């Protein structure tokens, strides 16, 4: 189909549920954009157009009309629920688009699906870009953080459009070309994994303040608001204070007390952990957050286990202000570990899939618009700017100092929570990871010995080159083995 004289829109949006509508309105509000809109049911399109005359949307009732309303290269952002619906829309768009046009998937697609789709769409000469978009409904409307993958050629057209709608921090739009094919959705997936860890860590801090020190939700809201003025300053801490402040209209008590304590999920946290397992990267903070949601959502097991014995002692707290500071430090240190692990997964993913991902740029585009936006991300950008080859974020001087300051508090909180029976899976596993990472010797040596004993899996020695096996069921002499130890 060639461009017709009616083509007037430089960008189109397919899928007009809340995220899609808000993104379309955001696009329309920026100088230079004219936005075509399409939805499977035309009624929704009509409603959006009539409710927002200021946007001057160009509505389309068929894919043909939609394509005809776009100027070349046609560029359309798909905003539908990730899954099979995405494939159906891609098929419909490829049928009416032409080589050089650009199809963007702005949903939370699994990055391997994006790699597959990019490959298939490329065959037609059309560009396919998987773009992670973070910031929820408000972000979509006012300025999200955007993580596009896809080709450099597509980025040339798409870049200015996405820059026009992204959140802006220190004059810089929160969008960068992350890498080719699925790189954008991969990084968005890790963003969500970190989001899970961040949320779980905050929830554990709340639980400690509530059950350990006996603070009320309103008091904890004030503590979080105070924390939000320091190094923990972030969107998630800010909204946590809002949630804790909220009074339930029905009971007159704190809303948090009447919300069922079973956390849901849509899958991106699970994907992060599955992917990290495949890549061999310990993302224990994120994994604990996923598991904590899973545990919360097992009411029958929890009911059966509620009679299990707990400790006799409550959390032993001398000075309450010192305890609050301990929890804050434990939260900060664990958060550093979660990000350090998340960036490890990005590095490993980039290597595995051949993406040239600039870690500092990722931290930069996460400073605004997205759910994990935080002051702290500036420190990550600086750390990678100082040392692009940084092997673990936590080893950057700023973070090493932060953890050095925090560690006594962190240890007190983790040991106190174990003694008093307050579950802190993310705090505890982050500390265990930290101690494992910094250990000069790990008991992995013993695991290698065990593996060699039962399976002749061989081992390496600290003092000699080569691979070895002990004749465990023979005379227990050591022999050199031909294979390499795995």
Lay out the site mask for ligand 6PG across 299-338 (x = CB under 6 A, - = otherwise): ----------------------------------------
Residue 193 near ligand 6PG by CB under 6 A = no
SS3 content of the chain, % helix, strand, coil (to 5): 55, 10, 35
Of 29-37, 157-165, 241-249, 265-273: span binding ligand 6PG (CB under 6 A):
265-273
Residue closer to ligand 6PG, measured from CB, 130 or 212: 130
**Helix ranges (DSSP H) in 134-258:** 136-142, 152-165, 183-207, 217-227, 235-245
Please list the alpha-helical segments (H only) found in 354-393: 359-365, 377-386
Q: Which of 28, 103, 209, 370 binds ligand 6PG (CB under 6 A)?
A: 370
Segment near ligand 6PG (CB under 6 A); pick from 31-39, 264-272, 326-334, 471-479: 264-272
Determine the 3-state secondary structure of 173 from DSSP: strand
Cα Rg for the chain, rounded, in angstroms?
Answer: 26
Q: Which is nearer to ligand 6PG, 19 or 380 (CB)?
A: 19
Classify the C-alpha dihedral 56-64-81-104 as positive or negative: negative
Binding part of the chain for ligand 6PG, among 49-57, 132-140, 163-171, 251-259 by CB under 6 A, reads 132-140
Beta strand 168-169 pairing with 172-173? antiparallel
- Cross-strand partners of 38: 14, 60
For position 192 contacting ligand 6PG by CB under 6 A, the verdict is yes
SS3 141: helix
**Residue from 21, 108, 176, 424 in contact with ligand 6PG (CB under 6 A):** 108
Please identify, using beta-carbon distances, which residue of 294 and 442 lies nearer to ligand 6PG.
294
* Contact range with ligand 6PG by CB under 6 A, out of 67-75, 242-250, 261-269, 426-434: 261-269
Q: Which residues of 332-350 are buried (b: 16+ CB within 10 A; e: fewer)?
A: bbbbbbbbbbbbbbbbbbb
- Residue 12 lies near ligand 6PG (rule: CB under 6 A): no
Minimum CB distance to ligand 6PG, residue 383 (Å): 23
Rounded Cα distance between 297 and 205, Å, is 20
- Which of 188, 335, 359, 364 is catalytic? The answer is 188
Query: Are the CB atoms for 118 and 169 separated by under 8 Å?
Result: no
Judged by beta carbon, residue 136 or residue 282, the one nearer ligand 6PG is: 136
Binding ligand 6PG by CB under 6 A: which of 234, 268, 275, 284? Answer: 268
| Among positions 15, 73, 135, 254, the unique one binding ligand 6PG when judged by CB under 6 A | 135
The DSSP 8-state label assigned to residue 247 in this structure reads B
For ligand 6PG, which residue has the nearest CB?
A: 134
The DSSP element (H or E) to which 434 belongs, if any, is helix 425-438
Q: Is 431 helix (H, G, I), strand (E, B) or coil?
A: helix
Binding residue (CB under 6 A) for ligand 6PG from 83, 85, 136, 423: 136
Is 195 a known active-site residue? yes
Contact residues for ligand 6PG, defined by CB under 6 A: 108, 134-136, 192, 195, 265-266, 268-269, 370-371
Positions marked catalytic: 188, 195
């Amino acid at each position: 189909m060639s461009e017709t004289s009616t083509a007037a829109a430089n960008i189109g949006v397919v899928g007009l549920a809340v995220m899609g509508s808000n993104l379309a309105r955001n696009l329309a509000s920026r100088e230079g954009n004219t936005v075509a809109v399409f939805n499977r049911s035309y009624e929704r399109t009509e409603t959006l157009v009539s409710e927002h005359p200021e946007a001057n949307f160009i509505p389309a009732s068929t894919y043909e009309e939609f394509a005809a309303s776009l100027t070349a290269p046609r560029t359309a952002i798909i905003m539908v629920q990730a899954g099979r619906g995405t494939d159906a829309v891609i098929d419909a768009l490829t049928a009416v688009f032409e080589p050089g046009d650009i199809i963007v998937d702005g949903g939370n697609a699994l990055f391997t699906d994006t790699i597959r789709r990019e490959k298939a769409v490329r065959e037609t000469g059309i560009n396919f870009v998987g773009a992670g978009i973070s910031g929820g409904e408000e972000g979509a409307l006012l300025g999200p953080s955007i993580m596009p993958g896809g080709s450099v050629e597509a980025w040339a057209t798409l870049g200015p459009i996405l820059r026009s709608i992204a959140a802006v921090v220190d004059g810089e739009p929160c969008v960068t070309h992350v890498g080719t094919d699925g790189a954008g959705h991969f990084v968005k997936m890790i963003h969500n994994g970190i989001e899970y860890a961040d949320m779980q860590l905050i929830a554990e801090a709340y639980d400690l303040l509530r059950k350990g020190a006996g603070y009320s939700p309103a008091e904890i809201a004030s503590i979080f608001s105070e924390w939000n003025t320091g190094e923990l300053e972030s969107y998630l801490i800010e909204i946590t204070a809002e949630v804790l402040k909220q009074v339930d209209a029905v009971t007159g008590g704190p809303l948090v007390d009447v919300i069922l304590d079973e956390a849901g999920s849509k899958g991106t946290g699970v994907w992060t952990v599955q992917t990290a397992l495949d890549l061999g990267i310990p993302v224990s903070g994120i994994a604990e957050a996923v598991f904590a949601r899973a545990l919360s959502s097992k009411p029958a097991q929890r009911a059966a286990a509620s009679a299990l014995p707990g400790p006799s002692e409550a959390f032993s707290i001398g000075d309450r202000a010192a305890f609050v500071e301990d929890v804050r430090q434990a939260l900060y240190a664990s958060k550093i570990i979660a990000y350090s692990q998340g960036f490890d997964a990005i590095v490993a993913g980039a290597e595995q899939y051949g993406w040239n991902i600039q870690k500092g740029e990722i931290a930069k585009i996460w400073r605004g618009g997205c759910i994990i936006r935080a002051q702290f991300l500036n420190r990550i950008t600086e750390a990678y700017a100082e040392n692009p080859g940084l092997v673990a974020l936590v080893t950057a001087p700023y973070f090493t100092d932060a953890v050095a300051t925090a560690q006594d508090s962190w240890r007190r909180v983790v040991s106190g929570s174990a003694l008093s029976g307050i579950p802190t899976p993310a705090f505890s596993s982050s500390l265990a990871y930290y101690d494992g990472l910094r250990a000069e010797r790990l008991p992995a040596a013993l695991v290698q010995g065990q593996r060699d004993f039962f399976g002749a899996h061989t081992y390496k020695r600290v003092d000699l080159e080569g691979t070895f096996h002990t004749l465990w069921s023979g005379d227990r002499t050591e022999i050199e083995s031909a294979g390499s130890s795995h």
